[in-house]
């Protein structure tokens, strides 16, 4: 029988994503509702090792649901992936009597939680907080909707100026290992081409397509590239395009970290709130070492070890849609 959880810690780890604050708020207030003591852990796993842990109450999370970033700060902690670092972290949690953790982050954060939980028998619940939407077991990740809407808004503005000058724009969005931001923002803005890490980039096909568009006087073209595209991102693609289409007015725009910031959308606030609530419920019900996700609008639970090994896959149908709609 699972031991009763009475004190829980919540932390944000890895890259920040809009909606993390909404998730923190939900964890704190749900924990308080059930009479649990809730602690905020600063700067991810670094905060456990350095004992930078603070009590949190309902008022601690007032007026944060609309804010981007994370009030608990975030960091990537190499020390936690060493046995000595995890031992030190466990001793600090033990001193405070913390017997359950909620980790808001991506697959690297979940990997650390899974190892830690197995070694020290502290139940951990993962919430998928990543703009990349690259974790299997959930239709949504906290921050993706905001990031993709930020990209869409920026690309719409770029199309306005591209249209005024008959330009080709090659736009780079975030997505080192996953092309979901590029795919969704590209389709939503009518991009003529979308380059993603999950598909081999055929640069010849891209150049031929742009040449064909040039012949039929379609001079305004948008190419959306995920930063992790195998060809090397927007600048590398632009080098080849400029070489092969010297008379085309080609510009590069790298959207960068604006995709991480900003006030979370309604959808991100809602899913973060649902997931934060479900995380505390899971700890109380004895459902441990799982990632909380949402599939088909229902809460779904995936073992942490499975969540870190599986990735969301982009189906061939999405690629077909891109090809047909951009023709």
Known catalytic residues are: 132
Is 191 flagged in the annotation as binding? yes
For Cα atoms 23, 68, 152, give the angle at the middle one, nearest 5 degrees: 110
Confidence of residue 325 (pLDDT cuts 50, 70, 90): confident
pLDDT tens-place string over residues 221-242 = 889 999 877 777 888 888 888 8
In this prediction, residue 5 carries a pLDDT of 92
Checking if the pLDDT of 1 tops 50, the result is: no
What is 7-143+264-306's CATH topology?
Rossmann fold (3.40.50)
Residue with tokens 């992936």, as numbered in its chain: 81
What are the boundaries of each domain within the chain?
A: 7-143+264-306, 144-260
CA-to-CA distance for 157 and 302, rounded, in angstroms?
A: 39
Checking if the pLDDT of 212 tops 80, the result is: no
Checking if the pLDDT of 78 tops 50, the result is: yes
For Cα atoms 282, 126, 111, give the angle at the middle one, nearest 5 degrees: 135
Is 215 flagged in the annotation as binding? no
pLDDT above 70 covers what percent of the chain? Answer: 97
- Among 15-19, 73-77, 101-105, 309-313, the minimum mean pLDDT is found in 309-313
In this prediction, residue 65 carries a pLDDT of 97
In this prediction, residue 197 carries a pLDDT of 84
Handedness of CA 38, 44, 45, 51 (dihedral sign): negative
In this prediction, residue 84 carries a pLDDT of 92
Confidence of residue 327 (pLDDT cuts 50, 70, 90): low
pLDDT tens-place string over residues 238-254 = 888 888 888 888 889 99
Is 177 flagged in the annotation as binding? no
Q: What is the DSSP string of 213-246?
A: HHHTT---EEEEEETT-TT-SHHHHHHHHHHH-T
Is 117 flagged in the annotation as binding? no
- Percent of the chain as helix, strand, coil, to the nearest 5: 45, 20, 35
Is 258 flagged in the annotation as binding? yes
Is 253 flagged in the annotation as binding? no
**Farthest-apart Cα atoms in the chain, separation:** 72
Is 163 flagged in the annotation as binding? no
Burial of 66 (0-12, 13-18, 19+ CB in 10 A): exposed
CA-to-CA distance for 162 and 219, rounded, in angstroms?
A: 9
What is 144-260's CATH topology?
Rossmann fold (3.40.50)
Q: Do domains 7-143+264-306 and 144-260 have the same CATH topology?
A: yes
pLDDT tens-place string over residues 144-198 = 999 999 999 999 999 999 888 888 899 999 988 888 999 999 999 999 889 988 8
* pTM (whole model) above 0.85: yes
Is 147 flagged in the annotation as binding? no
Is 220 flagged in the annotation as binding? yes
Confidence of residue 218 (pLDDT cuts 50, 70, 90): low
Q: CA Rg, the chain, in Å?
A: 22
Is 107 flagged in the annotation as binding? yes
Q: Taking all residues of the chain, what is their mean pLDDT, rounded to a whole number?
A: 90
Output 252 or 206, whichever has higher pLDDT.
Answer: 252
Is 190 flagged in the annotation as binding? yes
* 254 contacts: CB under 8 Å, gap ≥ 6: 171, 172, 233, 234, 235
């Amino acid at each position: 029988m699972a031991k009763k959880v009475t004190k829980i810690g919540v932390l944000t780890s890895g890259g920040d994503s809009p909606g993390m604050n909404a998730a923190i708020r939900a964890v704190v207030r749900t924990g308080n509702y059930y009479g649990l003591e809730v602690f905020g852990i600063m700067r991810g796993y670094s905060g456990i090792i350095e004992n930078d842990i603070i009590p949190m109450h309902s008022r601690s999370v007032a007026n944060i649901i609309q804010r981007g970033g994370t009030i608990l700060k975030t960091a990537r902690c190499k020390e936690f992936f060493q046995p000595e670092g995890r031992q030190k972290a466990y001793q600090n949690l033990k001193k405070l009597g913390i017997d359950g953790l909620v980790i808001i982050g991506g697959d690297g954060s979940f990997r650390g939680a899974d190892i830690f939980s197995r070694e020290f028998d502290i139940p951990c619940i993962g919430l998928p907080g990543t703009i990349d939407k690259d974790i299997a077991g959930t239709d949504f990740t906290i921050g993706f909707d905001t990031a993709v809407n930020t990209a869409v808004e920026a690309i719409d503005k770029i199309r306005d100026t591209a249209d005024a000058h008959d330009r080709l724009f090659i736009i780079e969005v975030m997505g080192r290992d996953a092309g979901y931001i590029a795919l969704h923002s590209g389709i939503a803005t009518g991009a003529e081409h979308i380059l993603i890490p999950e598909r081999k980039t055929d640069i010849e096909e891209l150049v031929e397509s742009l040449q064909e568009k040039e012949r039929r006087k379609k001079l305004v073209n948008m190419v959306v590239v995920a930063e992790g595209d195998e060809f090397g991102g927007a600048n590398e693609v632009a080098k080849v395009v400029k070489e092969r289409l010297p008379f085309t007015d080609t510009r590069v725009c790298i959207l960068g970290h604006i995709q991480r910031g900003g006030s979370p959308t309604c959808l991100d606030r809602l899913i973060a709130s649902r997931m934060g609530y479900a995380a505390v419920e899971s700890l109380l019900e004895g459902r441990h070492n799982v990632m909380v996700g949402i599939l088909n609008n229902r809460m779904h639970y995936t073992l942490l070890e499975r969540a870190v090994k599986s990735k969301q896959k982009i189906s061939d149908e999405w690629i077909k849609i891109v090809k047909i709609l951009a023709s």
